[in-house]
């Protein structure tokens, strides 16, 4: 009986040891169409290192590796497993096999199982089109567009030129929203746009009922548009990749997951809002006053003189203040008519514009400097401001009060300086300095036989230009030699520039500013990768990074760690409140990782 118990214990230990090193490959589906996105995942239920993914040359890799963890309880003991997943799509038809992945566990290399797929002819439904979730890791039977979409909302679809239009881009989801990546903001061609500032770029999630369905809603962008031409103008869509946490489609791995309804995983969806069309009409010509200069909205108007009694040739300020709501940013200075005896300078403009949820409003001032040249009583009239009220569909003219200026006789010296009074005010910049005084002090004369030709200065003037040209040519040639291999120069300076960026990130670390810390850390990593690997910023993506680092014999563990760090930084930029990582540890890991890659790279 004792022997049986001993054998049972040994057998149980052996089974536990085998289970502790379980490394399994799974796929969300095994029959797929060409171009259809699906997920493969590799799950290890123990600690491991140096994970190596098999060759995926017959597939397009849309995202990955995406890491997730899960916990389970077996016989009262808790265990944890790690899953690395990829979202891929087959390039061609046929039966395609993905070989086993490998990972090091306790100094030994273990392999996962292989995956075989039947790839059939592709369909135009892949990838999904506008406003449909591109399910990077979702079963095809799920209607993602009902549960996750971006909606562009405008307050009006008909407007006149210059009228204020509000457009709000919101994401609606019935999943748990985790973050954003690769947001493509629209270009508002045909509009002048002003954006409502975001609150430190932190997206606030609220609840909203739309057509009887409750959604979590996050506002991505709120802009105010002012059409600049007539016709039907399209407001383009916004595109984004949204990270959501949803229930996993795979079978529960253990009793714990089965009891609580299965596991959860982060999924990435590409979504796009619909195009919105605005019908822009011209401003009415009927009853349009001559004083109208394009202001559309609701405004008030004020005219002030700094003083109404001055001496000739003294300056006086005429200040025009425009206050209200509308396209105030685009309003130019009004055309005014002044007496002929006044010198008038271009107005100095000052503005205080506020953009919030209520629209664009504020004030704008035009400060004119006037200089009356002769004594007398003058009247400034015809200072009238006109704007178009889009709500009432009519022009509104606001006259100013009659402005009177009494000019007294000026000083005698000033009067002499103002005798010359040209019709073109630009002919004289500073009165009194256009005619110079006769020089009456002692002057130095030179003998008539002294000539410049043949003198020392003459020969210096001939030599110096050639010397400067030769020196410039030598310096230019030297710089060309130094910068001949620009790729090598950038690669050599990559680590130094990354350290400078990380020094800035360290300052925000000490201030406990998560958002700016992650932003600077991400810029340091991306700048280092672009300079070190000679990758243009425009073509920088995770697949390219993984490919170039692998070419330079960088270990897969370092590549995976770098991609995970980039994912963490991108996620933290849009949802810093949801990040709970230890910032000093993130900083230290980044420094160590760059140093490690620098040592490994060839």
Provide the b/e sequence for 99-110 (b: ≥16 CB within 10 Å). Answer: eebbbebeeeeb
Cis peptide, bond prior to residue 127, ω within 30 of zero: yes
Q: Assess if residue 481 is contained within a domain.
A: no
Cβ contact 106:119 at 8 Å: no
- The verdict on residue 434 lying in a domain is no
Q: Looking at the structure, do residues 241 and 349 belong to the same domain, yes or no?
A: no
Domain-terminating residue out of 69, 92, 120: 120
User: Residue with structure tokens 């960088």?
Assistant: 554
Domain-terminating residue out of 88, 120, 152 = 120
Residue 217: how many other CB atoms lie within 10 Å: 18
Task: Write down the pLDDT at residue 253.
Answer: 53
Q: How many structural domains is the chain composed of? A: 4
Q: Looking at the domain assignment, is residue 41 inside a domain?
A: yes
Q: What is the pLDDT of residue 2?
A: 54
Shared domain for 232 and 297, answered yes or no, is no
- Long-range (24+ apart) CB contacts under 8 A made by 473-482 are none
Q: Is residue 231 part of a domain?
A: yes
Q: Which residues are CB-neighbours of 476 under 8 A, at least 6 positions away? A: none
CATH number of the structural domain spanning residue 75: 2.60.40.740
Which residue range(s) make up the domain with 345?
292-420
Instruction: Clarify whether residues 259 and 313 are in a common domain.
Output: no
The pLDDT value given to residue 602:
62
pLDDT in tens, 557-595: 888 888 888 888 877 766 666 566 677 888 888 888 888
Residue 364 lies in a domain: yes
CA–CA separation, 242 vs 184, rounded Å? Answer: 12
Residue 249: name the closest of 40, 35, 33 by CA: 40
d(CA 494, CA 101): 32
H-type helices in 211-302, by residue range?
Answer: 255-259
Q: Are 354 and 325 in contact (CB under 8 A)?
A: no
Give the integer Cα–Cα distance in Å for 69 and 13.
Answer: 25
Residue 182 — left, alpha, or beta (φ > 0 → left; ψ -120 to 50 → alpha)?
left
Are 94 and 158 within one domain? no
The reply to whether 103 and 205 lie within a common domain is no
For 595, the enclosing helix (H) or strand (E) is helix 583-600
Q: What is the dihedral of CA 166, 171, 173, 177, to 10 degrees?
A: -140
Residues of the chain with pLDDT under 70: 1-21, 63-64, 68-80, 122-143, 199-202, 247-264, 382, 412-451, 482-492, 573-581, 602
Look up tokens 């909203």; give the residue: 208
Q: What is the DSSP string of 339-352?
A: -TTEEE-PPEEEEE
Residues 6+ apart with CB under 8 A from 506: 587
Residue 150 to residue 144: CA distance in whole angstroms: 12
Q: Do the Cβ atoms of 154 and 167 come closer than 8 Å? A: yes
The reply to whether 6 falls in a domain is: no
Q: In terms of domains, do 147 and 41 share one? A: no
In this structure, are 249 and 215 located in the same domain? yes
What dihedral angle (degrees, nearest 10) is formed by the CA atoms of 138, 143, 148, 149? 120
Q: HSE-up of 185 (CA within 13 Å, CB side)?
A: 10
Same structural domain, 184 and 266: yes
Which CATH number fits the domain that encloses residue 202?
A: 2.60.40
Cα torsion at 480, 482, 485, 490 (round to 10°)?
-120
- Tracing tokens 């046929």 back to the chain, one arrives at 94
What is the domain-level CATH number for residue 530? 1.20.120
Do 272 and 157 reside in the same domain of the chain? yes
- 72 neighbors 256 (Cβ within 8 angstroms): yes
Query: In sequence order, what are the beta bridge partners of 109?
Result: 104
343 shares its domain with 253: no
User: Of 244, 237, 249, nearest to 173 (Cα)?
Assistant: 244
- In this predicted structure, what is the pLDDT of residue 95? 92
Only one residue has tokens 């502790």, namely 20
Residues 186 and 267 in one domain: yes
Residue 169 and residue 164: Cα distance in Å, rounded? 17
Identify whether 432 is part of a domain.
no
- What is the number of other CB atoms lying within 10 angstroms of the CB of residue 549? 22
pLDDT the model gives residue 138: 38
Kind of pairing between the strands at 376-380 and 108-111: unpaired
Tell whether 264 and 394 lie within a shared domain. Answer: no
Chain centroid to CA 44: how far?
Answer: 38
Single residue among 420, 449, 465 that ends a domain in this structure: 420
- Decide if 203 contacts 222 (C-beta within 8 A): no
Q: Does 332 reside within a domain? A: yes
């Amino acid at each position: 009986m004792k022997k049986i118990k001993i054998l049972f214990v040994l057998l149980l230990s052996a089974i536990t040891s085998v289970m502790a090193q379980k490394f399994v490959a799974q796929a969300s589906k095994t029959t797929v169409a060409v171009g259809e996105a699906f997920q493969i995942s590799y799950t290890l239920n123990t600690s491991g290192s140096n994970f190596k993914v098999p060759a995926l040359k017959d597939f397009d890799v849309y995202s990955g590796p995406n890491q997730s963890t899960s916990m389970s309880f077996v016989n009262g003991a808790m265990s944890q497993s790690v899953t690395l997943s990829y979202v891929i799509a087959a390039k061609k038809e046929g039966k395609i096999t993905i070989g086993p992945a490998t990972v090091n566990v306790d100094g030994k290399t273990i392999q996962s199982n292989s995956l075989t797929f039947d790839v059939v002819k592709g369909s135009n439904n892949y990838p999904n089109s506008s406003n449909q979730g591109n399910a990077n890791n979702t079963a095809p039977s799920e209607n993602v567009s009902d549960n996750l979409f971006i909606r562009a909302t405008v307050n009006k679809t008909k407007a006149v030129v210059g009228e204020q239009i509000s457009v709000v881009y919101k994401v609606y989801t019935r999943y748990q929203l985790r973050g954003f990546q690769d947001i493509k903001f629209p270009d508002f061609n045909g509009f002048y746009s002003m954006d409502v500032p975001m609150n430190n770029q932190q997206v606030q999630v609220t609840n909203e009922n739309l057509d009887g369905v409750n959604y979590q809603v996050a506002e991505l962008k709120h802009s105010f548009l002012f059409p600049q031409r007539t016709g039907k103008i399209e407001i383009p869509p916004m595109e984004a990749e949204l990270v959501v946490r949803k229930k996993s489609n795979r079978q529960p791995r253990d009793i714990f997951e089965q009891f609580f309804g299965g596991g959860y995983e982060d999924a990435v969806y590409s979504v796009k809002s619909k195009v919105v069309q605005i019908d822009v009409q011209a401003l009415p010509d009927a009853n349009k006053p001559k004083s109208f200069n394009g202001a559309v909205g609701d405004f008030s108007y004020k005219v002030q003189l700094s003083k109404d009694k001055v001496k000739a040739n003294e300056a006086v300020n005429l200040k025009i203040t425009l206050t209200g709501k509308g396209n105030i940013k685009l309003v130019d200075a009004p055309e005014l008519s002044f007496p002929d005896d006044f010198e008038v300078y271009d107005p100095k403009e000052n503005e205080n514009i506020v953009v919030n949820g209520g629209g664009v409003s504020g004030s704008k001032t035009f400060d004119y400097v006037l200089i009356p040249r002769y004594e007398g009583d003058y009247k400034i009239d015809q200072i009238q401001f006109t704007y178009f009220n889009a709500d009432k569909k009519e022009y509104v003219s606001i006259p100013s009060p009659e402005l009177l200026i009494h000019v007294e006789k000026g000083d005698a010296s000033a009067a002499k300086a103002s005798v010359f009074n040209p019709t073109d005010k630009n002919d004289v910049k500073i009165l009194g300095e256009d005619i110079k005084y006769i020089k009456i002090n002692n002057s130095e004369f030179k003998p008539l036989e002294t000539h410049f030709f043949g003198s020392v200065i003459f020969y210096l003037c001939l030599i110096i230009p050639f010397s400067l040209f030769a020196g410039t040519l030598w310096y230019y040639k030297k710089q060309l030699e130094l910068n001949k291999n620009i790729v090598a120069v950038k690669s050599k300076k990559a680590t130094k520039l990354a350290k400078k960026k990380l020094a800035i990130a360290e300052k925000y670390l000490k201030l406990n500013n998560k958002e700016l810390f992650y932003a600077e850390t991400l810029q340091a990593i991306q700048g280092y990768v672009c300079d070190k690997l000679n990758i243009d910023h425009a073509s920088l993506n995770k697949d390219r990074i993984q490919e170039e680092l692998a070419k330079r014999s960088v270990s897969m563990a370092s590549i995976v760690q770098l991609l995970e760090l980039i994912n963490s930084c991108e996620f933290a930029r849009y949802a810093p409140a949801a990040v709970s990582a230890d910032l000093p540890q993130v900083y230290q890991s980044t420094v160590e990782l760059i140093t490690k890659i620098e040592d490994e790279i060839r």
